[in-house]
Chain A
Amino acid sequence: MEFDIVDLSRLQFALTVLYHFLFVPLTLGLSILVAIMETVYVMTNRPIWRQMTKFWGMLFGINFVLGVATGITMEFQFGMNWSYYSHYVGDIFGAPLAIEGLMAFFMEATFVGLFFFGWDKLSKVAHLVVAWLVAIGSNFSALWILIANGWMQNPVGAEFNPLSMRMEMTSFFEVMFNEVAQAKFVHTVSAGYVTASVFVLGVSAWYMLKGRHFELARRSIAVAAAFGLASAFSVVILGDESGYSATHSQKMKLAAIEGMWETQPAPAEFTLFGIPDQAARETHYALHIPYVMGLIGTRSLQTVIPGIDDLEAIAEARVRSGIIAFDALMEIRAKKGDVPPEITAQFEDHSNDLGFALLLKRYVEDPRQATEAQIVKAATDTVPTVWPLFWAFRVMVALGFSFVAVMGYFFFMANWKGMQFPRWSLRLAVAIIPAPWIAAELGWIVAELGRQPWTVDGVLPTALSVSHLSVADLLITLFGFVAFYTVLFIIEMGLMIKYIKKGPYMDVRETEEWQRKHEMRLSSSGEPQPLPAE
């Protein structure tokens, strides 16, 4: 079997990032749910809310630690496996990663220790502040990571410097307020909130089915359903925002997701179902809904969304323009500083297309020597593989809508039907626990596979981004990760299940104490008795 450095590096990145992302969404959402529960505890003083905070906090901790540990891998991996990428765009891409550490991760990691160890050392309010700082830190982490990722999708605020042979930042504000990054951030954290809500809902439903910990379960469902419904709505709406921003910045990705080969008259129709055929360049058995795509993508009835064929023709023109830029770059490099102005002008006119010339490096050492056939091939390479995008996107969207339905149902039952959940609905809540993870991983696949063949869209091809390593290097680390991560996953799941089965730690003395005081208060005011706390 023939191994290729690029494919092995991509496989390793995909596996480690998808694995990392098993833990991240739950961290994002559960940190906030736990902080909400603790807020209720501080406001009402009822011990049950403290016990809920501790119980869900414990599960948060088991999950959090693996998110942190596998995140280190991601930070190392750019340098280890993608060293040309690191050199080429580190000037821009490194900054948000470092700011993430400074602004967010430091806060999250410093306070998470205090969250677990500080119950007896801090006042109630101080501990609550710590819980919120952990939650805010986690969410800010996501912001900076997605600013970095957003720049890969839509590289704004940077230009190529021929002297240092890399991209350099021209505007930090453009990088930070990149519309793709902002849309991605809100979409991703909402997805995290949905994940945590489905998790809390599912585990609580399981307790109800087993007839255990009713007081904890019903309150947890109330919180999870309300938070989950709001998040499920926002994940769908903000996903639409992502789509809208893709219309101008990532046209090829959008066309590939739609399996839209030819440009259609506006407003374009949405393909609900179909079988994309890359070779024939058409989508078979397509089931269309008129107007919808045009409305989602452009929010107008006139703007045209270009199809794959037209985009490929544009790419071919850009490859040719890129060769001119490459030619000028070689001149500039050979002259070392003493560059005639017409060469500089030639480079500046075409430098935006330099990346397209680099696509040719797969076929020919010097892009200036490329044949017609190679240029056409490079242009064809700009079309990502359509079928996985087409399907991953549709399953993700369907799951997104189903979360709105489930959360809406539980929200309604919790608030207007006195928590009388039929058993089938509780079983459903348990059964869908894995669904948000599937949706989140598919979302990553759509975003990153849709960017191929680029690591940085239009700037740096994936094939050029890798380190100069041997296949043996990559196989060792790949097998190492797979073995190591599998063992950790089994251990993690084992602990999660153990602690869910064990259930919350109910401090009987504390609860009875509170109960006694509460009843004294009530008997003096003559109001009706509340439900006894567990």
Chain B
Amino acid sequence: MILHEFLSFELLRVIWWLLLGVLLIGFALTDGFDLGVGALLPFVGRTDTERRVAINTVGPVWEGNQVWFILGGGAIFAAWPPLYAVSFSGFYLAMFAVLAALILRPVAFKYRSKRDGATWRNGWDWALFVGGAVPALIFGVAVGNVLQGVPFHLTEDMMPMYDGSFWWKFIALLNPFALLAGVVSLSMLMMHGAAWLTLKSSGPVQERARRIGTWAGLVAIGGYALAGLWLAVGIDGYAIVGTVVTDGPSNPLYSQVERTASWLAAYGVRPWIVIAPVLGFLGMALATLGLRAGREVSTLLFSKLGIFGVISSVGLTMFPFILPSSKMPDASLTVWDSSSSHLTLFVMLVATLIFMPLILAYTAWVYKVLWGKVTEADVSEQSDSVY
């Protein structure tokens, strides 16, 4: 097979770095509001019917949305195997917590309204809350840790190793900066969930979603600003030393990496990336105002814009780093040394170019079919078939 030679290894690596961003953002924009609705559930719905309205706004779509996450995992495995190997085993117990939450959530959606009884339904409502709030929090905590560097090293055989005792590994993940990042992520997705509920519901559920969503938006904006300041003054960045080889074999140990004063140096080298945090602030601010004013479609779009800005700002700030190592900086994973082979990246790109447009098309069609508000009447009339 010679075809893949038409695209350089370097270009394919950049494309797959962008696609990684597309998948993470795709996940946050779609399943993000499902998680947000889960986290808002106990607060927006007081009666069983109100809660069912909230649940059924995401009922038909959460399953498809969740595939962004699963596909994200699969794409990391396929396109960035060292990243997959190091991060999934390094964040072991955090990953397990996410996993437990993500198993609980589908089951809760499906099974909650299949029996009557307050205990049964309250229990599953809790599961939906945990299944929404915990992953939303942990994803942020993970990003906070990645920005600080993760204490792993690689052996000559490329075996990822982690340092520190068992409990320490887990507790060290919950450091102040990481928790701040977790709060940003959780409040941002709650804002997004509130924007979705504003569009898809009416009456008291919509009222409460708007009120809580406005606060969540404010917290997200404040937290994001604070995290930016903290990055400027309190957290080391990383940089590749010497010549940067962009088409070498995928072996992180071939390059030298040193710690620098701050990640924000990137904004001096590539000033244009400032557009990402600007969009982040702008989107979140307009979404917050929209929630307060009760605008529907535009609020959801602004919320998406804000999330897009926030997530891409992290990626652009760190480029070309993907997962820096605080223990052994040379082992840090970068775009240039932790991808799949040239051929695999090409094959995966072809598959993505074939299927991604199809996915976007049929997902858009499904949303179009389901367009419109979910009302209390819908829930009580079709009590047997909806969630």
Chain B residues near A91 (CB-CB < 8 A)? 81, 340-341, 344
Chain B 133-173, CB-CB to A under 8 Å as 1, else 0, gives 00000000000000000000000111111100010000000
Stretch from A115-123, A399-407, A523-531 at the B interface = A115-123
B63 to chain A, nearest CB (A): 4
Contact bitstring A95-106, B, C-beta under 8 A = 1, else 0 = 101111111011
Are A90 and B100 in contact (CB-based, < 8 A)? no
State whether A119 touches B385 (Cβ < 8 A): yes
Check B369 against A68 for contact (C-beta < 8 Å): no
Q: Are A76 and B99 CB-contacts (below 8 A) given A109-B64, A114-B366?
A: yes
In the assembled complex, the Cα of A109 lies from the Cα of B106 at a distance in Å of 12
Instruction: Tell me, in angstroms, the Cα distance from A310 to B125 when the chains sit together.
Output: 61
B282 within 8 A of A: no
**A109 near B96 (CB under 8 angstroms)?**
no
* A86, A121, A171, A505, most chain B CB atoms within 10 A: A86
Q: Does chain A have a CB within 8 A of B115?
A: yes
A274 close to chain B: CB less than 8 A: no
Q: Mark B236-265, 1 if CB is under 8 A from A, else 0.
A: 000000000000011100100000000000
Q: Which chain A residues (189-239) contact chain B, with CB distance < 8 Å? A: none
* Complex-state Cα separation, A99 to B71, whole angstroms: 8
The SS class assigned to the B binding surface is helix
Given the interface pairs A102-B351, A168-B341, the reply to whether A94 lies near B79 with Cβ below 8 Å is yes
Please encode chain A, from 493 to 507, with 1 for each CB lying within 8 Å of some chain B CB and 0 for all others: 001001100000100
Residues on A with beta carbons closer than 8 Å to the beta carbon of B85 = 79, 83-84, 86-87, 90
Report yes or no: B96 in contact with A477, Cβ–Cβ below 8 A: yes
A514 to B124 alpha-carbon distance, docked (Å): 39
Which of B60, B70, B115 has a CB less than 8 Å from the CB of A113?
A: B60
Residue among B64, B78, B82, B92 making CB contact with A106, cutoff 8 Å: B64
* B386 engages A117 (CB within 8 Å): yes
- Please report which residues of chain A, range 57-75, place their CB below 8 angstroms from some CB of chain B when the two chains form the complex: 61-62, 65-66, 68-73, 75
Separation of A92 and B86 alpha carbons in the complex (Å): 17
Are the C-beta atoms of A102 and B341 separated by less than 8 Å?
A: no
Contacts A76-B95, A95-B78, A106-B64 given; indicate if A83 touches B89 (C-beta within 8 A).
Answer: yes
A179-187, A247-255, A338-346, A462-470: which lies at the interface: A462-470
Q: How far is the CB of B146 from chain A (nearest CB, A)?
A: 15
Compute how far the CA of A72 lies from the CA of B69 in the bound complex, rounded to whole angstroms. 10
Q: Is the CB of A495 within 8 A of B78?
A: no
Cβ A498 vs Cβ B115 within 8 A: yes
Q: Which of B70, B73, B156 has the most CB of A within 10 A?
A: B70
The answer to whether B158 and A165 have CB atoms under 8 Å apart is yes
Give the complex CA separation of A173 and B70 in angstroms: 24
A7 to B252, CA, bound (A): 30
A110 an interface residue at 8 Å Cβ cutoff? Answer: yes
Contacts of A168 in B (CB 8 A): 340-341, 343-344
Contact call A333/B92, Cβ cutoff below 8 A: no
**A102 with B84: in contact, given A94-B340, A110-B366 (CB under 8 Å)?**
no
Per-position contact with A for B86-106: 1 when CB-CB < 8 Å, else 0? 111100110110011011011
Q: Is B328 an interface residue (CB 8 A)?
A: no
Contacting pair A98 B71 (CB below 8 A): yes
Check if A161 sits within 8 Å of B249, measured CB to CB: yes
Q: Assess whether B158 is in contact with A102, with CB atoms less than 8 Å apart.
A: no
Contacts of B70 in A (CB 8 A): 71-72, 75, 101, 105
* B352 interface residue (CB < 8 Å to A): yes
Does B118 touch A at the CB level, under 8 Å?
no
Q: Given the complex, which residues of B lie within 8 Å of A122, measured CB to CB?
A: 369
B114 at interface (Cβ–Cβ under 8 A)? yes
Interface residue B111 (Cβ < 8 Å from any Cβ of A): yes
Asked whether B320 is an interface residue with its Cβ less than 8 Å from the other chain, the reply is: no
A118-130 CB mask vs B (1 if < 8 Å, else 0) is 1101100000000
CB distance B344 to A97 under 8 Å? no
How many residues of A are in contact with the other chain, CB < 8 A? 79
Complex: A498 Cα to B366 Cα, angstroms: 31
Q: A1 on the interface (CB 8 Å rule)?
A: no
Q: Is B362 an interface residue (CB 8 A)?
A: yes
CB–CB B67/A106 < 8 A: yes
Let me know if B64 and A166 touch, CB within 8 A: no
Q: Which residues on the B side are within 8 Å of A119 (C-beta)?
A: 385
Task: Say how far A158's CB is from chain B's closest CB, in angstroms.
Answer: 10
**A163 contacts partner chain B, Cβ-Cβ < 8 Å:** yes
Question: Does chain A have a CB within 8 A of B359?
Answer: yes
Q: Which residue of A lies closest to B62 (CB)?
A: A113
**Chain A residues near B166 (CB, 8 Å)?**
470, 472-473
Contact of A105 among B71, B95, B340, B344 (CB under 8 A): B71
**A-side contacts of B185, CB under 8 Å:** none
Contact A87 B75 (CB under 8 A): no
- Kindly identify which residue among A118, A164, A170, A473 contacts B369, using a CB–CB cutoff of 8 Å: A118
A172 x B111 contact (CB < 8 A): no
Known: A68-B106, A86-B77, A97-B78. A169 touches B344 (CB 8 A): yes
Which chain A residues border B366 with CB–CB below 8 Å?
Answer: 110-111, 113-114
Least Cβ distance of B2 to chain A in Å? 12
Q: Which of B85, B106, B386 has the most CB of A within 10 A?
A: B85
Contact A172 B343 (CB under 8 A): yes
In the complex the two chains form, is B81's CB within 8 Å of A484's CB? no
Distance A109 CA – B70 CA, assembled complex (angstroms)? 11
Asked if A107 CB lies within 8 Å of chain B CBs, one says yes
Query: Which single residue of chain A is at the shortest CB-CB distance from B84?
Result: A79
Residues of A within 8 A of B319 (CB): none
Pairwise interchain contact B99-A73, C-beta atoms closer than 8 A: yes
B70 CB to nearest A CB, Å: 5
The chain B residue with its CB closest to the CB of A485 is: B103
Judge whether A114 and B369 touch: CB under 8 Å. yes
The smallest beta-carbon distance between B105 and chain A, in angstroms, is 8
**In the assembled complex, which residues on chain B have CB atoms less than 8 Å from the CB atom of A66?**
107
Closest CB of chain A to B42's CB: distance in Å? 21
Q: A95 touching B158 by the CB < 8 A rule?
A: no
Which listed residue (A71, A109, A468) contacts B161, Cβ 8 A? A468
Contact with A along B348-378 (1 / 0, CB 8 A): 1001100110010011001001100000000
In the complex, whether A351 has a CB less than 8 A from a CB of chain B is: no
Known contacts: A107-B362, A121-B369, A495-B111. The answer to whether A113 contacts B87 by CB under 8 A is no
Most chain B CB atoms below 10 A, which of A54, A72, A118, A122: A72
Contact with A along B302-343 (1 / 0, CB 8 A): 000000000000000000000000000000000000001101
Chain A residues within 8 Å of B347, by CB: 95, 169, 172
| Residues of A close to B340: CB separation below 8 A | 90-91, 94-95, 168-169
Are the CB atoms of A109 and B67 closer together than 8 Å? Answer: yes
Check if B59 is an interface residue, CB within 8 A of chain A: yes
Whether a CB of chain A sits under 8 angstroms from the CB of B269 is no
Residue B74 CB within 8 A of the other chain:
yes
Instruction: From A81, A95, A107, A470, give the contact of B348 (CB < 8 A).
Output: A95
Q: Known contacts A72-B102, A73-B103: does B344 contact A102 (CB below 8 Å)?
A: no
- Residue numbers in B under 8 Å from A87 (CB-CB): 81-82, 85, 158-160
* Bound form: Cα–Cα A97–B359 in Å: 17
> Is A491 an interface residue, CB under 8 A from the partner?
yes
Q: Can you list 19 A-B contacts with CB-CB less than 8 angstroms, sorted by A residue number?
A: A62-B110, A72-B70, A72-B99, A83-B160, A91-B344, A94-B74, A95-B347, A99-B78, A103-B351, A105-B67, A110-B63, A111-B366, A112-B63, A113-B59, A164-B158, A165-B158, A484-B100, A495-B111, A495-B114
Chain A interface residues toward B at CB < 8 A: 54, 61-62, 65-66, 68-73, 75-76, 78-81, 83-84, 86-88, 90-95, 97-103, 105-107, 109-114, 116-119, 121-122, 161, 163-166, 168-173, 333, 336, 467-470, 472-473, 476-477, 480, 484, 488, 491, 495, 498-499, 505
Given contacts A98-B351, A119-B385, 17 further A-B contacts (CB under 8 A): A62-B111, A69-B103, A81-B89, A83-B160, A90-B82, A95-B78, A99-B351, A101-B74, A106-B363, A114-B60, A118-B370, A168-B340, A170-B343, A467-B92, A469-B89, A484-B103, A488-B103
Closest 9 CB pairs of A and B: A79-B88, A90-B81, A94-B78, A110-B64, A94-B77, A113-B60, A101-B71, A98-B74, A163-B249
